[in-house]
């Protein structure tokens, strides 16, 4: 729409979508399950962690532990809540690399748009490539949830969430390698070769000319997004 009609139509479509979401919230407010506020779980979790650090004991925040030490129990949580916090702390080890991942993710999203701009688009805008992320999620999520994962459970093949995350990292790594190979061929095809931009890359209108590598030969964007 932005390419063939104009920016006004693209922004109007976004406005309409947000209005639909707003109307859904307003009109459906009577059917929502509204629960009264019961305090912040985050605050209680930080208090539990502080008691663990202060006493150098993972069970120090449990009411049963405090009672066993002869102390007055003033905590409003139970032992099960402390066990959940302990499990969350163990699970947080998996997310240590997530900041690095998201920094890289935000960077290569722009790089892929730039890479597509160096290729023959056959009428497809290069900034459309970043939309493959939600498209892949919409298409593959029901397939994985309704067919792939149930088939694995039926075959008694364990595939827990941690393994799924690891698989996603491997697929993303392979996609990055594939994108690097595509970029290599873009440089080989010219007109700038080993440079991202050059005078030969400027067309008669003053814009950046498209290279000799086709979008049809590269699915690096869709692979990496998925």
> Of 101-110, 121-130, 163-172, where does the model show the most confidence?
163-172
| pLDDT above 70 (res 33) | yes
- Residue 141's domain comprises 95-225
| 154 lies in the same domain as 99 | yes
Strand partners, 25: none
If one compares 141 and 112, the residue with the highest pLDDT of the two is 141
| 63 lies in the same domain as 125 | no
Distance in angstroms (rounded) separating the CA atoms of residues 220 and 226: 10
The DSSP code sequence of 173-223 is: HHHHHHHHHHHHHHHHH-SSTTSS--GGGB-TTSSBPP-SSBGGG--HHHH
| 138 lies in the same domain as 182 | yes
Which residue among 75, 94, 113 closes a domain? 94
Average pLDDT over residues 112-133: 78
Average pLDDT for the chain: 79
| 159 lies in the same domain as 101 | yes
Between 22-26, 61-65, 109-113, 149-153, the lowest mean confidence (pLDDT) is in: 109-113
Between 10-19, 123-132, 138-147, the lowest mean confidence (pLDDT) is in: 123-132
Which residue among 54, 79, 94 closes a domain? 94
If one compares 216 and 150, the residue with the highest pLDDT of the two is 150
Total of domains in the chain: 3
| pLDDT above 50 (res 225) | no
Two tokens, residue 50 = 């502080």
pLDDT of residue 197: 64
Distances (CA, A) of 193 to 10, 11, 200, 201, 208: 35, 37, 10, 10, 14
Average pLDDT over residues 69-94: 82
pLDDT of residue 20: 93
| 50 lies in the same domain as 161 | no
Q: What is the DSSP letter of 139?
A: H
Average pLDDT over residues 138-150: 91
Which residue among 94, 110, 132 closes a domain? 94
| 158 lies in the same domain as 175 | yes
| 2 lies in the same domain as 69 | no
| 112 lies in the same domain as 207 | yes
| 101 lies in the same domain as 159 | yes
At 208, phi and psi to the nearest 5?
Answer: -85, 125
Q: Please report which confidence band the pLDDT of residue 206 belongs to, taking 50, 70 and 90 as the band edges.
A: low
| 5 lies in the same domain as 71 | no
| 202 lies in the same domain as 127 | yes
If one compares 192 and 23, the residue with the highest pLDDT of the two is 23
Residues 53, 54, 56, 58, CA torsion sign = negative
Between 99-103, 186-190, 221-225, the lowest mean confidence (pLDDT) is in: 221-225
| 122 lies in the same domain as 195 | yes
């Amino acid at each position: 729409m932005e390419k063939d009609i104009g920016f006004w139509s693209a922004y109007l479509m976004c406005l309409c979508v947000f209005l639909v979401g707003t109307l859904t919230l307003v009109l459906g407010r009577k059917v929502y399950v509204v629960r009264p506020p019961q305090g912040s779980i985050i605050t209680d979790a930080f208090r539990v962690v502080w008691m663990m650090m202060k006493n150098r004991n993972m069970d120090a925040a449990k009411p049963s532990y405090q009672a066993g030490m002869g102390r007055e129990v003033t905590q409003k949580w139970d032992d099960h809540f402390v066990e959940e916090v302990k499990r969350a702390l163990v699970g947080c080890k998996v997310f240590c690399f997530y900041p690095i991942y998201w920094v890289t993710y935000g960077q290569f999203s722009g790089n892929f748009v730039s890479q597509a701009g160096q290729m023959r688009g056959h009428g497809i805008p290069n900034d459309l490539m970043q939309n493959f992320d939600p498209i892949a999620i919409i298409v593959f999520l029901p397939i994985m949830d309704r067919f792939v994962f149930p088939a694995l459970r039926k075959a008694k093949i364990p595939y827990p969430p941690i393994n799924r995350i690891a698989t996603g990292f491997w697929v993303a790594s392979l996609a990055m390698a594939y994108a690097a190979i595509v970029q290599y061929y873009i440089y080989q095809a010219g007109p700038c070769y080993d440079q991202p931009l050059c005078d030969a890359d400027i067309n008669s209108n003053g814009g950046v000319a498209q290279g000799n590598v086709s979008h049809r030969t590269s699915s690096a964007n869709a692979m990496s997004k998925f």
